[in-house]
């Protein structure tokens, strides 16, 4: 608890600073206000869960943090970089060198083996770990030469995590990483994420609508209706193994 | 409108790029199909109608001179239905403003009346006034070539006498649909015309009072032509008959038939190629397009639509997609057909062209297109529909992949992951890759086959008119002339060198096979005329015996060493036997060749010639023409350069137009195929590529994966297309061989390059369009859903 406080005080340790962020989509003739002035921060090494029902704006927030989407107004600063002002090329570079992504549907390249799916990222990164090491971190050493079609859903998601962390990113963004998995497999995936966060100190933000997962986070950011309604701090973090849903 | 139908229109709009490309492919296939077939049908129908309406004769005979009373004997011959005598005169014309000798054939018509047979269609003006002896009707293309009009005058030299003529009408005749001087290689409307004159006036001028020198006949339906011809020859024999012949050997009809035969062959081959290629592509394209709709199909089924409903829905989509292509294809085909018909009309003089669009042509085009599209669709649709909806809606499981062969043999170690993706993708779906390659190579091959004609024509011209002939002009004499004429010609100012030749019209007979053509007697060691075989090697003329064009030998079934009977169709009308000593493979013509002296010995005519080849002083050509107009012996001149122009402008024009259209259509097909290929690959792969974008790949890097694969397929397809194109051309050359010419299998590097270029440009443009789409991938959307 105290440890967290010191972090809050130290501005240099802030990974993301989000201020009055709004996002409006034009859906045909209707304007959809996905974000209506969100404020938040993400600190080095912490694990945050973004929790909210569908339509709450959590995916939009994550997409903007990840450089996949641009805000309508407001400010997003990554380290000392203003993402709201970044152009397409800068965003690509940002994604390439700083952010790791994990998707709900894994999005592996089906024509590449597990190792190659990781290599696809390490080949373009500045200071990556080896694909073998990354896969070892998620416990897939044995299955490195298998193609996605030969892996279970949980295994595929762990490959995706290995791929995401292999570039040694500052931040790991996960969009419903367990959404397509049963709970048992989901827990294995969460364990991998927890281990990365613990061992590498990578700041991790996980989107979910599953309240039960929130127990493993340092902080839980609740979203509803495009604003952050509540930020709660877990006094005691649960290990993924203790979660049930 | 049902909701499902509304979806149909929106889907169509959504797929507009692909729909456009598919439309191009079908339009091109169908347009070419319709153009060829309707042009051929129209020309054939028009010919038949013109022959019938204007009573084209079945048999013809020319003779020196016979009394008019002989006609009764001819009419009495069994099998003859109608017979009409005529006076036909070969004359020279002097047309003011055109200082070259012009030849014409004057044909008599009953005084003040249309002929019974070989009627004339008066386009403008009227028949000659029976009270005037100088009025003539002239053939239409001759009038066009000289811009002659009713009331214009020119001079004719008939039997050495000058006679002023006045044009009273412009006409066409079934006897001269395609006009060509007997010794020429291509029609020359400026230097050869047909005139019709009243019988009385012509007889007086030509000393044929109470006599005739030509008979045209029609036969009873059951009559046997050969019997009738023999009987005619018996009757006219002692009047100097030159041998009766049927329509088959009538020059206009024969040329027309040969050209029609070629046209017919091309109008079978080209449309078949085009409709087949576009059907094939349609099948492939539709099956891939429907494949991208997999989840929608599942969703529809989940709502409770049955397989039948879904099938009907997609069948409608397919029919709508191809409807635009079909409609525009048929419209363009009809339009091109009219243009092509008009072009042919400038060469073949029909009074009108009846455009024939047989319903089966449309039905066939529609059926082939719809069938091939539906076949491609239904197969895929069935595969998609037999899955339980839930399974189809679930995200597709990752596709099965293997390490590619190239990597297995150790080539893959150093290559990057994106390159591995390309290789494995190509290898994983060998059939799809193969179909893509076949599609592009077919388009490439079609381009080559279309461009090939021009190459072949260029080459024939080069061999025939440039490499084999070196004279500036040739002159022909009215009658057989002593070889001493050579010295007279050499004396003329402006003539630098002279060689003589002799042409003997003959009928070659081998058993029941016969062929009417000429034997050309050539000077040994000629400096102006060479016999070249198809390897462009100079063939030495044997000092005795007969040499035949290989095509003629094939027609007559003779080989070197065989004896051949020759019926001479002039003078004594003798029959001789001669040994075929050699064959020469040539592209143009069907001629026999002999050494000049040897030919004269065979004919028993002393040292005779029928014309001469001249090398002339270019500056004095005008003067020479005037000299020749005045020389009674000279019937006409042929300038080599004109023959080349005429060949292109008249004979090859139609062919060059349709190859132009075919090439254009092949370009469209090329683009349609390549673009569709790229577009579908984009749909299939966009999700994977966006994932890579999210992982930090740049636009250029993901473009490499997709476009690299397309480029690889294109590069493989081009050489395959070359091979395919060569094979198509070989088949065309084989199928199009006729008496007029054998198509040489010559494909210029320009044609190959052009085909490759079109494919590459199509690929680049498609690549750019896809690249644009890749640049605008919606990274957020594509990660959410599976479509």
Task: Classify residue B703: in a domain, yes or no.
Answer: no
CA atoms lying within 13 Å on the CB side of residue B161: 10
For residue A156, what is the nearest residue in chain B, using CA coordinates? B398
pLDDT for B288 beyond 90? no
Preferred mutation among B403, B424, B694, B708 to probe A, highest tally of A CBs within 10 A: B694
Is residue B114 assigned to a domain?
yes
Taking the Cβ of residue A72 and every Cβ of chain B, the question of whether any pair is shorter than 8 Å is answered with no
- Given a cut of 60, is residue B786 above it in pLDDT? no
Q: Does residue B34 sit in the same domain as residue B71?
A: no
- Count residue pairs from A and B with Cβ separation < 8 A: 96
C-alpha closest to that of B27 among B667, B656, B660, B668 = B668
**How much is the pLDDT for A7?**
43
Q: List, for residues B322-362, the tens digit of each pLDDT value.
A: 888 899 999 999 998 898 888 888 777 888 888 888 998 89
Find the angle CA(B288)-CA(B398)-CA(B14) to the nearest 5 degrees.
Answer: 35
| C-alpha radius of gyration, chain B, whole number | 33
CB-nearest partner of A116 from B417, B696, B786: B417
Of the candidates B403, B425, B694, which has its C-beta nearest A101's C-beta?
B694
Q: Which helix (H) or strand (E) holds A7?
A: helix A2-9
Nearest to A149 among B397, B687, B695 (CB): B397
Pair B246, B365 in one domain: no
Specify whether B277 is located in the same domain as B152: no
Residue of chain B minimizing CA distance to A69: B780
d(CA B780, CA B417): 24
**Structural domain that includes position B594:** 469-643
Q: State residue B557's pLDDT score.
A: 94
Same domain, yes or no: B78 and B223: yes
Task: Give me the DSSP letters along B584-636.
Answer: E--SB---EEEEHHHHHHHHT--SEEEEEEEEE-GGGHHHHHHHHHH-TTEEE
Final residue before a domain boundary, out of B328, B357, B390: B390
- In B71-183 the beta strands, taken as DSSP E runs, fall at 80-86, 88-95, 98-109, 121-125, 135-139, 153-158, 161-172
Give residue A46's pLDDT. 92
> Does A111 sit within 8 Å of B424, measured CB to CB?
yes
**Would an 8 Å CB–CB cutoff place B400 in contact with chain A?**
yes
Q: Does the beta carbon of B787 lie under 8 angstroms from any beta carbon of chain A?
A: no
A113 neighbourhood in chain B, CB within 8 Å: 403
pLDDT 10s digits, B418-438: 888 888 888 877 877 888 888
Please indicate whether, in this complex, the C-beta atoms of B696 and A68 are within 8 angstroms of each other: no
Query: Is B696's CB within 8 Å of A110's CB?
Result: no
Last residue of a domain, one of B608, B643, B678: B643
**pLDDT at residue B774 is higher than 60:** yes
Residue B198 shares a structural domain with residue B266: no
For B775, nearest residue in chain A (alpha carbons): A88
Dihedral pair phi/psi, residue A171, rounded to 5° = -145, 145
Residues B497 and B598 placed together within one structural domain of the fold: yes
Cβ contact B694–A123 (<8 Å): no
For residue A120, list chain B residues with Cβ-Cβ distance below 8 A: 417-418, 692, 695
Chain segment B589-607, per-residue pLDDT in tens: 788 999 999 999 988 888 8
Provide the shortest C-alpha distance from residue B384 to chain A (in Å): 20
Q: Per the structure block, which two tokens stand in for B411? A: 């080539």
Most confident of B94-98, B262-266, B643-647, B748-752: B748-752
The predicted structure's pLDDT at residue A127: 85
Residue with tokens 């008959």: B241
Domain membership flag for residue B658 = no
Highest mean pLDDT among B610-624, B685-699, B729-743 belongs to B610-624
Which residues of chain B make contact with A147, given a CB cutoff of 8 A? 398, 400-402
Residue A229's closest CA among A107, A73, A8, A53?
A: A53
Q: In A, which residues are within 8 Å of B401 by CB distance?
A: 110-112, 147-149
C-alpha B653, offset from chain centre: 9
With vertex at residue B340, the alpha carbon angle to CA B337 and CA B341, rounded to the nearest 5 degrees, is: 80
Inter-chain residue contact A63 with B780, CB threshold 8 Å? yes
Q: Please check whether residue B600 lies inside any domain of the structure.
A: yes
* Contact criterion met (CB < 8 Å) for A149 and B421: no
How many structural domains does chain B have?
Answer: 3
Which structure tokens are listed for B128?
A: 């000659």
Per-residue pLDDT of chain A (245 residues; tens, 9 = 90+): 444 444 444 554 899 999 999 999 877 678 888 899 999 999 999 999 999 988 888 888 988 898 888 889 999 999 888 998 888 788 888 888 898 888 888 878 777 889 988 888 888 888 899 999 999 988 899 999 998 888 988 899 889 989 988 988 989 999 888 887 888 888 988 998 998 899 888 999 999 888 889 999 999 999 999 999 999 998 888 888 888 77
Q: Which residues of B touch A66 (CB under 8 A)?
A: 694
Are A123 and B786 within 8 A, CB to CB? no
**CB-based contact A112 B420, cutoff 8 Å:** yes
The verdict on B204 and B70 lying in the same domain is: yes
Instruction: Report chain B residues whose CB lies below 8 A from the CB of A89.
Output: 698
- Domain limit, last residue, from B614, B643, B672: B643
* Contact status of B409 with chain A (Cβ, < 8 Å): no
Domain co-membership, B126 together with B46:
no
Per-residue model confidence (pLDDT) at position A3: 42
What pLDDT score was predicted for residue A8? 45
Å between A14 CA and nearest CA of chain B: 22
Give the list of residues 6+ apart from residue B227 with CB closer than 8 angstroms, or none: B78, B79
Q: Does residue B148 sit within a domain?
A: yes
Residue B716 lies in a domain: no
The residue of chain A nearest to residue B394, with distances taken between CA atoms, is: A180
Q: Which of B678, B751, B748, B760 is nearest to B717 (CA)?
A: B760
Partner residue opposite A121 with nearest CB, options B397, B424, B695: B695
What SS3 state is found at B536? coil
Instruction: Kindly tell me if the per-residue pLDDT of B393 is higher than 70.
Output: no
Q: Rounded distance, CA A232 to CA A217, Å? A: 10
Q: Does A123 touch chain B (CB under 8 A)?
A: yes
Q: Do B401 and A95 touch (CB under 8 A)?
A: no
Q: Same structural domain for residues B622 and B550?
A: yes
Mark whether B108 and B231 lie in a shared domain: yes
* B358 and B377 co-located in one domain: yes
Instruction: Decide if A243 contacts A215 (C-beta within 8 A).
Output: yes
**Are B269 and B193 found together in one domain?**
no
How much is the mean pLDDT over chain B?
A: 85
Q: Hey, are the CB atoms on A116 and B420 less than 8 Å from each other?
A: yes
Confidence of residue B182 (pLDDT cuts 50, 70, 90): low
Q: Which of B395, B400, B692 sits opposite A105 (nearest CB)?
A: B395
Chain B residues 700-719 with a CB less than 8 Å from chain A = 701
Output the pLDDT for position A4. 44
Compute the half-sphere exposure of residue B763: CA atoms within 13 Å on the CB side of its CA. Answer: 26
Q: In whole angstroms, give the CA distance from residue B614 to residue B472.
A: 6
Interface test with B, best of A103, A109, A119 (most B CBs within 10 A): A109
Q: What is the pLDDT of residue B787?
A: 35
A66–B contact, CB cutoff 8 A: yes
Asked if A84 is an interface residue toward chain B (Cβ–Cβ < 8 A), one would say no
Measured between alpha carbons, how far is residue B539 from residues A170, A216, B556 in Å? 85, 97, 21
Cα of B704 to nearest chain A Cα, Å: 14
- CB distance from B687 to chain A under 8 Å? yes
Note whether residue B730 is domain-resident.
Answer: no
Measure A126 CA to nearest chain B CA, in Å: 12
Q: Is the pLDDT of residue B398 over 70?
A: no
* Domain membership flag for residue B207: yes
Question: Any idea which of A203-207, A225-229, B238-242, B749-753 has the lowest mean pLDDT?
Answer: B238-242
Residue B706, min C-alpha distance to chain A (Å): 13
Residues 6+ apart with CB under 8 A from A66: A95, A99, A101, A173, B694
Residue B412: list chain A partners with CB under 8 A. none
Average pLDDT, stretch B167-181?
88
What global pTM score does this model have?
A: 0.72
> Using N-to-C axis directions, what is the helix angle for B307-347 and B16-53, rounded to 10°?
40
Rounded to two decimals, the ipTM of the complex is: 0.72
């Amino acid at each position: 608890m105290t440890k967290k406080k010191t972090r809050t005080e130290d501005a240099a340790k802030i990974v993301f600073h989000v201020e009055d962020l709004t996002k409006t989509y034009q859906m045909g003739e209707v304007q959809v206000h996905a974000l209506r002035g969100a404020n938040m921060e993400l600190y080095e090494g912490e694990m945050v869960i973004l929790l909210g029902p569908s339509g709450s704006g959590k995916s939009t927030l994550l997409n903007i943090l990840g450089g996949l989407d641009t805000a309508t107004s407001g400010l997003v600063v990554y380290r000392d970089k203003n993402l709201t002002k970044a152009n397409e090329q800068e965003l690509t570079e940002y994604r390439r060198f700083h952010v790791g992504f994990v998707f709900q549907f894994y999005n592996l390249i089906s024509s590449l083996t597990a190792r190659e799916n990781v290599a696809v990222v390490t080949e373009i990164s500045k200071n990556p770990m080896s694909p073998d090491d990354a896969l070892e971190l998620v416990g897939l050493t044995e299955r490195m030469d298998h193609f996605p079609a030969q892996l279970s859903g949980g295994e595929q998601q762990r490959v995706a995590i290995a791929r995401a962390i292999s570039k040694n990113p500052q931040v790991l963004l996960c969009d419903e990483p367990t959404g397509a998995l049963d709970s048992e497999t989901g827990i294995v995936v969460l364990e991998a994420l927890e281990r990365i966060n613990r061992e590498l100190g990578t700041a991790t933000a996980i989107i979910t609508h599953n309240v039960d997962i929130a127990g493993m986070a340092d902080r839980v950011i609740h979203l509803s209706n495009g604003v952050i309604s509540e930020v709660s701090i877990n006094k005691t973090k649960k290990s993924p193994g203790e979660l049930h849903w | 409108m049902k909701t499902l139908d509304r979806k149909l229109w929106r889907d169509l709009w959504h797929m507009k790029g692909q729909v456009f490309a598919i439309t191009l492919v079908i339009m091109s296939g169908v347009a070419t199909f319709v153009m060829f077939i309707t042009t051929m049908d129209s020309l054939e129908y028009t010919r038949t109608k013109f022959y019938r309406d204007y009573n084209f004769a079945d048999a013809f005979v020319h003779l020196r001179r016979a009394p008019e009373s002989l006609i009764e004997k001819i009419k009495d011959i069994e099998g003859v239905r109608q017979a009409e005598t005529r006076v036909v005169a070969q004359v020279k014309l002097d047309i003011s403003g055109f200082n070259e000798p012009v030849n014409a054939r004057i044909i008599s018509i009953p005084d003040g009346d249309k002929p019974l047979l070989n009627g004339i269609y008066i386009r403008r003006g009227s028949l000659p006034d029976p009270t005037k002896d100088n009025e003539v009707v002239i053939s239409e293309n001759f009038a066009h070539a000289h811009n002659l009009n009713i009331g214009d005058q020119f001079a004719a030299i008939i039997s050495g006498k000058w006679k002023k003529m006045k044009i009273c009408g412009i006409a066409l005749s079934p006897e001269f649909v395609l006009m060509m001087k007997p010794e020429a290689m291509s029609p020359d409307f400026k230097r050869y015309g047909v005139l019709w004159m009243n019988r009385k006036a012509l007889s007086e001028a030509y000393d044929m009072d109470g006599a005739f020198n030509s008979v045209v006949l029609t036969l009873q339906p059951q009559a046997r032509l050969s019997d009738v011809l023999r009987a005619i020859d018996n009757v006219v024999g002692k009047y100097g008959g030159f041998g009766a012949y049927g329509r088959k050997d009538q020059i206009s009809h024969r040329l027309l038939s040969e050209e029609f035969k070629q046209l017919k062959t091309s109008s079978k081959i080209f449309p078949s190629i085009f409709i087949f290629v576009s059907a094939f592509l349609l099948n492939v394209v539709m099956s891939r397009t429907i494949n991208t709709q997999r989840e929608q199909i599942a969703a529809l089924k989940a709502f409770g639509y049955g397989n039948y409903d879904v099938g009907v829905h997609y069948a409608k989509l397919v029919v709508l997609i191809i409807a635009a292509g079909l409609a525009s294809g048929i419209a363009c085909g009809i339009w091109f057909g009219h243009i092509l018909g008009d072009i042919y009309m400038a060469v073949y003089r029909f009074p009108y062209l009846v455009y024939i669009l047989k319903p089966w042509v449309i039905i066939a085009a529609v059926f082939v297109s719809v069938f091939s599209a539906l076949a491609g669709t239904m197969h895929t649709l069935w595969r998609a529909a037999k899955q339980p909806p839930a399974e189809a809606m679930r995200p597709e499981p990752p596709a099965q992949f293997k390490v590619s062969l190239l990597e297995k043999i150790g080539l893959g170690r150093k290559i990057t992951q994106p390159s591995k993706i390309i290789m494995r993708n190509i290898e994983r779906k060998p059939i799809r890759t193969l179909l893509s390659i076949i599609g592009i190579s077919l388009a490439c091959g079609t381009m080559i086959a279309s461009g090939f004609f021009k190459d072949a024509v260029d080459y024939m011209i080069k061999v025939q008119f440039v490499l084999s002939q070196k004279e500036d002009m040739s002159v022909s004499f009215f009658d057989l002339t002593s070889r001493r004429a050579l010295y007279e010609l050499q004396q003329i100012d402006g003539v630098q060198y002279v060689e003589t030749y002799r042409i003997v019209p003959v009928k070659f007979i081998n058993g029941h096979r016969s062929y009417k053509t000429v034997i050309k007697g050539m000077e040994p060691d000629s400096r102006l005329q060479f016999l070249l075989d198809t390897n462009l090697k100079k063939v030495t003329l044997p000092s005795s015996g007969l040499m035949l064009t290989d095509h003629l030998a094939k027609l007559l079934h003779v080989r070197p060493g065989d004896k051949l009977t020759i019926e001479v169709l002039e003078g004594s009308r003798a029959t001789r036997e001669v040994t075929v000593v050699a064959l020469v493979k040539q592209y143009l013509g069907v001629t026999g060749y002999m050494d000049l002296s040897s030919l004269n010995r065979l004919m028993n005519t002393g040292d005779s010639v029928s014309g001469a080849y001249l090398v002339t002083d270019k500056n004095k050509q005008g003067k020479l023409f005037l000299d020749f107009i005045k020389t009674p012996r000279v019937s006409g001149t042929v300038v080599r350069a004109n023959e080349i122009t005429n060949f292109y402008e008249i004979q090859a024009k139609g062919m060059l137009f349709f190859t132009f259209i075919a090439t254009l259509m092949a370009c469209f097909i090329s683009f349609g195929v390549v673009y569709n290929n790229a577009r579908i690959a984009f749909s299939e792969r966009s999700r994977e590529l966006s994932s890579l974008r999210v992982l930090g790949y740049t636009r250029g890097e993901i473009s490499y994966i997709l476009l690299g694969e397309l480029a690889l397929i294109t590069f493989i397809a081009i050489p395959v297309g070359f091979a395919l194109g060569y094979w198509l051309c070989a088949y065309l050359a084989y199928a199009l061989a006729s008496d007029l010419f054998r198509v040489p299998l010559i494909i210029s590097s320009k044609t190959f390059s052009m085909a490759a270029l079109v494919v590459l440009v199509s690929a680049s443009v498609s690549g750019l369009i896809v690249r644009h789409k890749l640049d605008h991938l919606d990274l957020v959307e594509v990660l959410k859903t599976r479509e």
